[in-house]
Structure 1
């Protein structure tokens, strides 16, 4: 969730009016913005600030006091190119996918296993696709729920503001299940394991990872949706977008992308 801060100031009326006027011109919640060695303007000097929503294993999640994952490693390559350090901000996914977090200057990039969609492209600019995904169905092992048709009269969990939620809502009238909304992936997956919902739909990567960790659950099917993930930037930030695309291109050409992929998924990406 977002973590707003409040500042309590004791001011004379005239000073308060002056500060209010200045605040009306502010466009970023961060101070100390700077420009990297490559000429890309960043919201915080010496940092590439990434907005994400934890936890979404294996793309981004907490391990001790660190945030790690596939997306984290890819954005680290961008930070290295800019000669800065990546800093990660955990915030609500809704504010990431609708562009708010980027527009107010909370972060430079959004990397949250985020599917590129036409609606989202109206709010933010996306990098070239860096990951192919599909939607999948997570159930408790032994239930026999092999597809959406098997969920008639059952409770299907979705994560708020995701393509999985969109897919579930699109098909609920046809298959007759109840859609139950969760704020994040962890709550959704746990609800399957504890039996408070009958199944969950989300991206295949995280659900397979969860079933591996908790073998009392299983992924029974995938839905071919053609999802592709992209890294988001504020609309019109061409300099940063071009840098990200070049880094992704170079990483794929050099084999660095394949190494990162294998590190987190245990295999090399499928050949195109």
Structure 2
């Protein structure tokens, strides 16, 4: 359930305790060799590719009809098929993903959560080749009078962001002191209930919101921010065989048209210029000089 009030960079005592337990478990982990595939790719459990994610984060991963689906899910299914195993989803707080805690403790083989590749995260996990070029969107109420991210600051209105994301980092660097929410659902609810006047979120997430008439009625996108971010699939540091299998699956999918099909299924037309940023209203690629950015 979405939180009824935003929480700014705060993990509960229980969350810290759980993180401590899984890190402790990681100290005795064997690296998952017991679940190795026929060609020697190490997995934490036989016959399964365990994927850590943080739900919900549509269109990358979310629940529909009691099943987790999305762009990342379909992409990792390609990897699982290549390895001759099935994918199993593990839902966990994003902190456990970006720090590598659940990879190190043997809870998961891979981390796929619409996760931006950053130098800081590279210290904790190894990343695949980039599989998605990301931008940030700014969404607000149509009656807010806000026309851009800069306008949020100029009018001294509150900006919301999802905690522990690059969107929050971007807002921090811009001097916004954003109100943080635990999930994308909670972020949208914060906008809906007036806790914030605008939110900064990954463009595909904003696009997914605005496809729903319940959201496109009161809300609209006013900015699209090009940050140069790219998403990657994370693995435990040093798990080179699994990383190579993921890279091969992504590269082959781009070459044979499978990637385009998945992109169009979950997000929309694949931009020829490489950037997914598009105007919600027109469906056209966002201008290269657009003053907008992502999470």
TM-score range, shorter chain: 0.7 to 0.9
What does residue range 198-237 of structure 1 map to in structure 2 within 5 Å? 198-213=197-212, 214-215=215-216, 216-237=218-239
Aligned-partner Cα distance in 2 for 1:146–1:24: 48
Q: Give the match for residue 68 of structure 1.
A: 69
| Alpha-carbon distance change, 182 to 254 in structure 1, aligned in 2, over 3 angstroms | same
Contact 1:40–1:240 (Cα < 8 Å) also in 2: yes
Contact 1:32–1:45 (Cα < 8 Å) also in 2: no
1:32 is displaced (CA, Å) by 9.7
1:158 is displaced (CA, Å) by 1.1
1:178 is displaced (CA, Å) by 4.2
Q: Which has the higher contact order (CA 8 A, sep 6+)?
A: 2
Normalised by the length of structure 2, the TM-score is: 0.80
SS at 2:51's partner residue? Answer: strand
Normalised by the length of structure 1, the TM-score is: 0.86
1:140 is displaced (CA, Å) by 1.2
Contact 2:34–2:42 (Cα < 8 Å) also in 1: yes
Number of aligned residue pairs: 249
Aligned-partner Cα distance in 1 for 2:42–2:130: 23
Aligned-partner Cα distance in 2 for 1:24–1:47: 19
What does residue range 1-272 of structure 1 map to in structure 2 within 5 Å? 26-27=28-29, 33-152=34-153, 153-172=156-175, 177-213=176-212, 214-215=215-216, 216-272=218-274
SS at 1:270's partner residue? Answer: coil
* Structure 2 unpaired stretches of 5+: 1-10, 19-24, 275-295
SS at 2:238's partner residue? Answer: coil
SS at 2:174's partner residue? Answer: helix
Q: Which has the higher strand share?
A: 1
Q: Give the match for residue 17 of structure 1.
A: none
Aligned-partner Cα distance in 2 for 1:98–1:190: 27
Larger radius of gyration: 1
* Structure 1 unpaired stretches of 5+: 5-22
